[in-house]
């Protein structure tokens, strides 16, 4: 029997939500107010996830793809449900593309991108064959490790005097405009909206009573960590550089210099990148596998896993010609055209239907 503890769920969610986005400088468009935008996104994101949790509860613990057939009727519901594995597959492809572009520009300049993405996927597939439970346990190990390193990074940054708190002020000098522009639609849909993947995983949690609390706590904690990296980035690099750089979090790691010995922490960057990308890609593909298995009623994952991984690989390798292209799609087109309808509109509709039904039931039952 598959069992995931609450700590493991917490770890999975945080690592998933930190994801690769954290390296890009979350909400860096908001300049020195990025941390406010992050916190705001996390708060709104938590509200959205609370909506998913409500749906999970109102449907009596059904998984994501079972919500729609249960609420919208068999055929329209099934069609709506099929959109999600496709979306997750596409998101997985985007992570593959992240990996494919990020490693060569950061630490492995000469290695062909298909080798990097391919080797990464092999490990992910190994993890998927091991199952949900093992992915949860791996997260339970990696989360404390990442947190220890993150703490170390902060200590070293502070100790080496690389930070300057004046970069943060004046707070909100340019008003709500640019903060709001990063929060909607990108801030709340990426990572927080994507957490709808966990609607496939909640059903495996050992004890359901702490589920909602753990999920929301993890979301807020992830928001706090993201905001903290933004604060570090702004303090270390200054608003201008923070806004312009593609990967401010990695640039930040080059700053500390302590006693001429600890000079740069690139290795930490590799750890963040590998760990976060691994968790995000694994959970995306895991959701794909779980969705497809539920929808097709397949007995085993044996063929779904390699098929999903291969699809993600080819999508990742072909979806963008350059890193700029890739980012352009991610920051401009994706949120409004795909994420908003699937992460917000459809679930909202489902929630409405579930709510109306519940009211109807309550009214229907009372007179009798």
Partner 1 sequence: MGDSGSALTISGSYAQDLARFRQVFERCADVVYRSFALDSGRNGTFIFIVGLVDEQRLEAECIRPLMREEARGFAPSRGPLPDPADFLHADRSESETDIAKAAEAVCQGKAALLLEGERSVTLVNLLKWDKRAVEEPASEPVIRGPRDGFTESLASNLALVRRRLATTDLKVELMRIGDRSKTSVAVVYLDSLVLPGVLKEARERLSRIRIDAVLESGYLEELIADNPYSVFPQLLNTERPDRVVGGMLEGRVAILTDNTPFALVAPGTYVDSLQASEDYYQNYIVSSATRLLRFWLSFSALVFPSIYIAVTTFHQEMIPTSLLFSIASSREAVPFPGIVEAFVMEAAFEGLREAGIRLPRPVGQAVSIVGALVIGQAAVQAGIVSAMLVIVVSFTGIASFIFPIYAQGLALRFLRFPMMLLAGTLGMYGLFLGLLALLIHLCKLRSFGVPYLSPLVPLQADGMKDSMIRAPWWRMVLRPQETGKRNRRRIRAGSRPGPPSGGESGG
Q: Is 271 in the site for partner 1 (CB under 8 A)?
A: yes
Q: Say how far residue 191 (Cα) sits from the centre of its chain.
A: 3
CB nearer partner 1, residue 168 or residue 271 = 271
CB 47, min distance to partner 1, A: 30
Contact stretch for partner 1 (CB under 8 A) within 216-224, 239-247, 256-264, 329-337: 256-264
Site string for partner 1, 201-230 (x = CB under 8 A): ------------------------------
What residues contact 318, with CB distance under 8 A and at least 6 apart? none
Of 16, 198, 278, 313, which one interacts with partner 1 (CB under 8 A)? Answer: 278
**Of the candidates 30, 116, 252, 305, which one interacts with partner 1 according to CB under 8 A?**
116
Task: Report whether 178 contacts 109 (CB < 8 A).
Answer: no
Q: Which of 61, 73, 74, 119 is close enough to bind partner 1 by CB under 8 A?
A: 119
CA Rg, the chain, in Å?
Answer: 21
Residue 268 CB, shortest distance to partner 1, in Å, is 10
Give me the half-sphere count of Cα atoms (radius 13 Å) on the Cβ side of residue 244.
5
Does residue 343 touch partner 1 according to CB under 8 A? no
Contacts to partner 1 from residues 141-160, by CB under 8 A: 141-142
Nearest distance, CB of residue 249 and partner 1, angstroms = 17
Q: Where are the alpha helices (DSSP H) in the chain?
A: 6-18, 34-58, 64-72, 74-106, 113-130, 132-159, 176-182, 188-189, 211-244, 248-252, 266-296, 304-318, 323-328, 334, 346-365
- How near is the Cβ of 142 to partner 1 at its closest, in Å? 8
Does position 103 interact with partner 1 (CB under 8 A)? The reply is: yes
Q: Which of 190, 348, 351 lies closest to 284 in space, CA to CA? A: 190
Q: Can you tell me the distance from the alpha carbon of 278 to that of 153, in angstroms, rounded to the nearest whole number?
A: 21
The one segment of 61-69, 128-136, 193-201, 330-338 that binds partner 1 by CB under 8 A: 128-136
Instruction: State residue 205 phi and psi, 5-degree precision.
Output: -70, 135
| DSSP per-residue string spanning 83-122 | HHHHHHHHHHHHHHHHHHHHHHHHT-TTS-HHHHHHHHHH
Contact stretch for partner 1 (CB under 8 A) within 119-127, 151-159, 218-226, 244-252: 119-127
Of the chain, the end-to-end C-alpha distance in Å amounts to: 41
Greatest Cα pair distance, the chain, in angstroms, is 81
CA 150 – CA 137 distance, rounded (Å): 20
Q: Which of 105, 123, 148, 158 binds partner 1 (CB under 8 A)?
A: 123
10 binds partner 1, rule: CB under 8 A: no
CB nearer to partner 1: pick between 122 and 345: 122
Contact between 57 and partner 1 per CB under 8 A? no
By the criterion CB under 8 A, which residues form the site for partner 1? 5, 7-8, 103, 107-108, 111, 115-116, 119-120, 123, 126-127, 130-131, 134, 137-138, 140-142, 260-264, 266-267, 270-271, 274-275, 278
């Amino acid at each position: 029997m598959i069992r995931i503890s609450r700590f493991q769920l917490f770890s999975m969610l945080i690592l998933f939500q930190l994801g690769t986005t954290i390296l890009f400088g979350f909400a860096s468009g908001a300049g020195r107010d990025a941390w406010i935008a992050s916190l705001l996104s996390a708060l709104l994101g938590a509200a959205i996830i609370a909506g998913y949790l409500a749906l999970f509860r109102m449907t009596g613990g059904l998984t994501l793809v079972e919500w729609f057939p249960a609420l919208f009727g068999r055929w329209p519901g099934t069609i709506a449900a099929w959109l999600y594995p496709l979306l997750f597959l596409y998101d997985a492809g985007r992570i593959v593309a992240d990996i494919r572009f990020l490693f060569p520009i950061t630490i492995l300049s000469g290695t062909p991108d298909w080798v990097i993405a391919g080797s990464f996927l092999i490990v992910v597939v190994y993890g998927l064959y091991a199952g949900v439970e093992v992915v949860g346990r791996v997260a339970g190990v990696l989360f404390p490790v990442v947190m220890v390193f993150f703490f170390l990074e902060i200590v070293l940054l502070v100790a080496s005097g690389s930070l300057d708190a004046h970069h943060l002020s004046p707070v909100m000098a340019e008003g709500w405009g640019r903060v709001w522009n990063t929060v909607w639609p990108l801030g709340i849909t990426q990572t927080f909206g994507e957490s709808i993947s966990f609607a496939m995983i909640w059903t495996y949690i050992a004890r359901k009573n702490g589920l909602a609390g753990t999920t929301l706590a993890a979301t807020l904690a992830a928001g706090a960590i993201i905001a903290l990296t933004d604060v570090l980035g702004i303090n270390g690099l200054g608003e201008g550089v923070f806004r312009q750089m593609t990967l401010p979090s990695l640039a930040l790691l080059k700053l500390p210099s302590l006693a001429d010995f600890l000079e740069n922490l690139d290795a930490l960057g590799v750890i963040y990148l590998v760990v976060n990308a691994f968790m995000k890609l694994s959970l995306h593909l895991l959701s794909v596998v779980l969705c497809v298995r539920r929808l097709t009623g397949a007995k085993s994952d044996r063929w779904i896993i390699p098929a999903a991984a291969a699809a993600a690989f080819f999508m990742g390798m072909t979806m963008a010609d350059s890193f700029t292209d890739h980012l352009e799609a991610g920051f401009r087109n994706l949120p409004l055209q795909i994420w908003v309808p699937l992460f917000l509109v459809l679930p909202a509709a489902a929630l409405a239907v579930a709510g109306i039904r519940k009211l109807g039931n309550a009214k229907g039952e009372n007179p009798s």
